[in-house]
Amino acid sequence: MNLKFKEDHSHFVTKLDSLIQYGQLIVTDCQIKNSYSFLKDKTTWKTQVISFLRKELLPDGEEFIKIFQRKNTDPLSEFIYDQEELSFEDLEIKVSNLSYIKNLVPMIGGLLSKSTKSKPKSIQDKLDFILYQINRDFNNLYYSIEDILYFNSIPYRDDEPEELANHLTKKKYVSQKEFHNTWVKITVTGAAYIERKTRTQETKRKSTSQKHIDQRIDEIIIRLKSLGHGQEIIFEELEELKSLNKKLSKKNWRQILQGKLVDMGIKELLDKETIGSVFEALTDEKLRLP
């Protein structure tokens, strides 16, 4: 699903928070207002929310409006509450739905930033993807597996969201919401599993990246020697970059690399063109030199 903000995420959340607070205020004030005033405030608020969702999301916010308009699926509610109580409950549910939208947004790939990860295809990939998404804040909220798959354009069969939820529940990775079999919240066991798996994957990626950098540095040393740059200090500096790559973050390592290359330029060990080509070979970015 190719959704975009009309402005940006920060603006969207700020406006959403104000509407959530307005809805909560109506809930609080309803006990001291008459039914007419309550219904008027509720109707005004609902109109503002729908208008906001429709205008602030491109190409449109109709899918979020559907979430906002969801009703209670508890089969007992109609027998327990009278019409006035049902109207009040409906408002509480819609305020909750709006909060849910706020928490769902960061789970939608491509909405906050360009998604470079491939979409999960296997069942295990889908299970891990779901756990990763609902563990973002490790809060006490339930999330719809169907929403997570749908808004991330991940294909699924008719009964698959419920089957995935049941499987994760049997593993004790999630707990399911009463009357909502596809709605789950992560457990400590589930959070521990996905955090452990994420760390393992990050370690593998970092190891692969380090090997790639080491290989590039070796190739650069060979090339510099062939070009007649035989100063030992150049090769010592490049070899040091190998060890630093294992200790520093990508951003800090790149800053160290830039500093060393600029220093070599000042000392006239390498010319600007060579410095630029070395930096680009190791970072895939161009270096701007004065």
246-281 residue pLDDT tens: 788 888 988 998 998 888 888 888 888 888 888 888
**100 in a domain, yes or no?**
yes
Structurally, the chain folds into a number of domains equal to: 3
Residues 206 and 270 in one domain: yes
Domain ranges, residue 138: 123-186
The model's pTM is 0.73
The domain boundary residue, chosen from 51, 79, 107: 107
Please report how many Cα atoms fall inside a 13 Å half-sphere around the Cα of residue 136, on the Cβ side: 14
Instruction: Please write down the long-range contacts of 17-25, taking CB distance under 8 Å and 24 or more positions apart.
Output: 17/102, 19/45, 19/48, 19/49, 19/52, 19/98, 20/95, 20/98, 20/99, 20/102, 22/48, 23/49, 23/91, 23/94, 23/95, 23/98, 24/95
Dump pLDDT digits (tens) for 5-62.
998 999 999 999 999 999 999 988 876 666 778 889 999 999 999 999 999 998 889 9
Cα distance between residue 40 and residue 155, in whole Å:
41
Dump pLDDT digits (tens) for 90-134.
899 999 999 999 999 999 987 776 655 678 989 999 999 999 999
| Residue labelled with tokens 């104000």 | 18
For residue 157, what are its two tokens? 């069969």
Residues contacting residue 109 through CB under 8 Å, at least 6 positions apart: 115, 117, 152
The answer to whether the bond into 59 is cis (omega within 30° of 0) is yes
**194 in a domain, yes or no?**
no
Residues 103 and 17 in one domain: yes
State percent of the chain over pLDDT 90: 46
